[in-house]
C-alpha cells in the first residue's frame, strides 16, 4: 500500500545533532568510476539531490587506482565508452584499440567535466559505515574522518575489483625496500634501472606488468602460484580512418554489443567443438588466435564453456602455443596450466609476456614447489632460500565482487550486517538489491559481460527504480527474502551448467582464504540478464515490498 510520500529535497540541507553536522541528500552514490559517474548523472537528471563520495582524489575508479605499467583495457576501446550520449561518442577519439590507463583516466575526466559531475562529488572521502535508520527511513554514512551524511537512497558503485588483497605473509612490514600493491601504484614514475625486483602473482595484472618491468630492471624474479592461459592481445594504434568509421557506425557497434551473449562485438560459434572435424576445428582455433582480444575465449565454440572434453581440446591447443614461445622447456612447463579448464579463470591478455621468460634477467619461482615463508628485511624467504630485492610488487589480486561491500560496516533492518547476511556468499535479487536493506542498491556489473555495456543498464535500472519509488509516492523498496532465495538458487543453477566454478578463482571467491565458495558472477548471457531486469519492472516489481 502506498503511504504519504517522503519529502524530496531539491537542495542540500544540514542538520546538527549531538555528534555534529550531518549533510542531508536524497541519494548518495559511493564511487566515481564508470558506474558511479553515470549514477550521479542519471539521478541528477531525474531531479534528485545527489552526492557522490569517492575515496580517491579524483574520478576514474579502476582507472584512477591502477596506474601500473601496462595497465589497459582488455575490451575493445570502441565498445568500452559510454553509449548514453551520441555527442560524447563523436567528441572523444580513442588512440589505441585497447586503451591504456592514462588515456582511460583522461576519458573519465572528460566525461565528468562535460556533464559537470565533479561538483556533486566529495573526494578523499573514504566511507567506512552505512547504517539504516528504520524510524527515519534514512541511511547514515560515516567517513573515516568521522563526518556523516544521510540520504533516503544509497547506490554503492564500488566496483567488482577494487578491494585489493595481499596475502598475510609473515614479516610483511619488515621489508626495507620499496613495496606496493599494483592497485595502489604511485603516481610518480618508478625507476627500475638496475634494481632487483620481485613480482608476486601471475594473474591478469602481472601479465600486463611483467614484460615492461623486465625490460627496465636489473633483475626480475616472478613468484607464481598458478599459471594462467594467457592469450595475445594484439593491440595497435587506431588510424584516423578507423576512428571515423567507428563514429559513423556507433549505433551498429552498440547494437551488436547489446545483442551479443557477453557484450563484446562477437558471438560464440554455435556448433559443438568435437562434432567438427579436427582439421576444421584447428583451423578455427588458429584464426581466433590470430585475432585481437577475447575472441579466443568468447568467440570460440560455445561448448568450450560448458563441456570439459571440448574445453580440454582447446586448452591443449593453448598449452602448445605457450610451449612454442618459451625457450627453456622446464620453464615452459611451469607456465602451462594443467589444473583447471580454459576460461574457468579470467583469461589474461598479454603482449610479449611469455618472451619475458626468455630474458637472462628474469627468473620464475614456483611457490607450489617452494612456498613463500615470510617477507624479510632484505626480500623474500621461500622454503629453500632467501631472495634479496630492492622492490617488491604485490600483484596478488582482489577480494572480488563482495569484498568492497563487506569491508564496510553496512547495517540494514534490525542492525543486521551485510557481512553477516552474505557470510555464505552474496544474497541478492539480480545482483543489485538485498533483502533487509531497503533503498540500498549495488551498482556493480556481476553479469558475465563487457563491463560498461552491462554497467550502463545496471545503473539505468537502479535509477529508474528509485524514480519509480518517488513517482508513485512510496518511501522505500526492498526485495522479499523468498525472491532473494529464488535468485540465489537461479544463479547457482546457471553457474553449475558452466565451468565457472571448476577451480578456485575470484569468480567463486576461491582466491581468498576463508571466503565462502559461491558463484559471484551471473553465468547467463547479457541479453538474458537484461530480460530479467525488464521482467521485474513489467511485473510491477514482483518480489519486492514497496511501502
**pTM across the whole model:** 0.94
Contact criterion met (CB below 8 Å) for 347 and 294 = yes
Full DSSP string of 471-495: HTT---EEE-HHHHHHHHHHHHHHH
Element (H, E) at 362: strand 362-366
In whole angstroms, what is the distance from residue 455 CA to residue 79 CA?
Answer: 12
Query: Distance (Å, rounded) from C-alpha 89 to C-alpha 87?
Result: 5
> What pLDDT score was predicted for residue 14?
52
Q: Provide the CA 99 distance to its chain's centre, in angstroms.
A: 16
pLDDT tens digits, 367-383: 999 999 999 999 999 99
Spell out the residues 6+ positions from residue 436 whose beta carbon is closer than 8 angstroms to its own. Answer: 412, 413, 414, 416, 421, 478, 481
* CA-closest candidate to residue 139, choices 478, 536, 487: 478
DSSP 163: S
CA distance 175 to 94: 41
Per-residue model confidence (pLDDT) at position 19? 54
Low-confidence spans in the chain with pLDDT less than 70: 1-19
Residue 72: how many other CB atoms lie within 10 Å:
22
- Tell me the per-residue pLDDT of 404-434, one tens digit each, with 9 for 90 and over: 999 999 999 999 999 999 999 999 999 999 9
Q: Which residues pair with 392 in a beta bridge?
A: 179, 198
* Widest Cα–Cα separation across the chain: 76
Domains of the chain: 13-59+117-163+400-546 (3.50.50.60), 166-228+348-397 (3.50.50.60)
Grid cell at residue 150: 544521510
Amino acid at each position: 500500500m502506498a503511504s504519504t510520500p517522503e519529502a524530496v529535497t531539491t537542495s542540500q540541507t544540514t542538520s546538527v545533532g549531538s555528534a555534529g553536522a550531518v549533510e542531508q541528500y536524497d541519494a548518495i552514490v559511493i564511487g566515481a568510476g564508470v558506474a558511479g559517474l553515470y549514477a550521479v548523472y542519471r539521478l541528477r537528471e531525474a531531479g534528485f539531490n545527489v552526492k557522490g563520495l569517492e575515496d580517491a582524489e579524483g574520478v576514474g575508479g579502476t582507472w584512477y587506482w591502477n596506474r601500473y605499467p601496462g595497465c589497459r583495457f582488455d575490451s575493445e576501446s570502441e565498445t568500452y565508452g559510454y553509449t548514453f550520449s551520441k555527442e560524447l561518442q563523436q567528441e572523444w577519439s580513442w588512440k589505441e584499440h585497447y586503451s591504456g590507463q592514462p588515456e582511460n583516466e583522461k576519458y573519465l575526466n572528460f566525461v565528468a567535466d562535460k556533464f559537470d559531475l565533479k561538483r556533486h562529488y566529495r573526494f578523499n572521502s573514504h566511507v567506512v559505515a552505512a547504517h539504516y535508520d528504520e524510524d527515519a527511513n534514512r541511511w547514515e554514512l560515516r567517513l573515516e574522518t568521522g563526518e556523516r551524511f544521510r540520504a533516503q537512497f544509497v547506490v554503492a558503485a564500488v566496483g567488482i575489483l577494487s578491494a585489493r588483497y595481499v596475502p598475510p605473509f609473515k614479516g610483511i612490514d619488515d621489508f626495507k625496500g620499496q613495496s606496493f600493491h599494483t592497485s595502489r601504484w604511485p603516481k610518480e614514475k618508478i625507476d627500475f634501472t638496475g634494481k632487483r625486483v620481485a613480482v608476486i602473482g601471475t594473474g591478469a595484472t602481472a601479465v600486463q606488468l611483467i614484460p615492461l618491468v623486465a625490460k627496465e630492471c636489473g633483475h626480475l624474479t616472478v613468484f607464481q602460484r598458478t599459471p594462467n592461459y594467457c592469450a595475445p592481445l594484439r593491440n595497435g594504434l587506431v588510424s584516423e580512418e578507423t576512428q571515423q568509421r567507428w563514429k559513423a557506425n556507433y549505433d551498429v557497434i552498440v547494437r551488436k554489443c547489446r545483442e551479443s551473449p557477453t557484450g563484446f562485438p562477437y558471438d560464440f560459434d554455435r556448433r559443438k567443438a568435437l562434432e567438427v572435424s579436427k582439421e576444421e576445428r584447428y583451423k578455427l582455433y588458429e584464426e581466433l588466435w590470430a585475432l585481437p582480444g577475447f575472441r579466443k575465449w568468447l568467440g570460440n565454440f560455445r561448448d568450450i564453456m560448458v563441456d570439459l572434453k571440448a574445453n580440454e581440446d582447446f586448452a591443449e591447443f593453448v598449452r602448445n602455443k605457450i610451449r612454442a614461445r618459451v625457450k627453456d622447456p622446464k620453464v615452459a612447463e611451469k607456465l602451462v596450466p594443467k589444473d583447471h579448464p580454459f576460461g574457468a579463470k579470467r583469461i589474461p591478455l598479454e603482449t610479449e609476456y611469455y618472451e619475458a621468460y626468455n630474458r637472462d634477467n628474469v627468473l620464475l619461482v614456483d611457490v607450489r614447489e617452494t612456498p613463500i615463508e615470510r617477507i624479510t628485511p632484505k626480500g623474500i624467504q621461500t622454503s629453500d632460500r632467501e631472495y634479496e630485492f630492492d622492490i617488491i610488487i604485490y600483484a596478488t589480486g582482489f577480494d572480488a565482487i563482495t569484498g568492497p561491500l563487506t569491508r564496510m560496516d553496512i547495517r540494514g533492518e534490525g542492525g543486521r550486517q551485510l557481512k553477516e547476511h552474505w557470510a555464505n556468499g552474496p544474497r541478492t535479487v539480480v545482483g543489485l538489491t538485498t533483502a533487509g536493506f531497503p533503498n540500498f542498491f549495488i551498482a556493480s556489473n556481476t553479469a558475465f559481460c563487457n563491463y560498461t555495456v552491462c554497467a550502463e543498464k545496471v545503473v539505468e535500472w537502479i535509477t529508474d527504480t528509485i524514480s519509480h519509488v518517488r513517482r508513485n509516492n512510496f518511501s522505500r523498496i526492498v526485495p522479499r527474502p523468498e525472491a532473494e532465495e529464488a535468485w540465489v538458487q537461479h544463479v547457482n543453477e546457471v553457474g553449475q551448467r558452466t565451468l565457472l566454478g571448476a577451480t578456485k578463482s575470484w569468480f567463486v571467491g576461491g582466491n581468498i582464504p576463508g571466503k565462502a565458495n559461491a558463484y559471484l558472477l551471473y553465468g547467463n548471457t547479457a541479453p538474458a540478464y537484461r530480460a530479467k531486469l525488464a521482467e521485474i519492472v513489467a511485473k510491477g516489481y514482483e518480489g519486492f515490498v514497496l511501502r
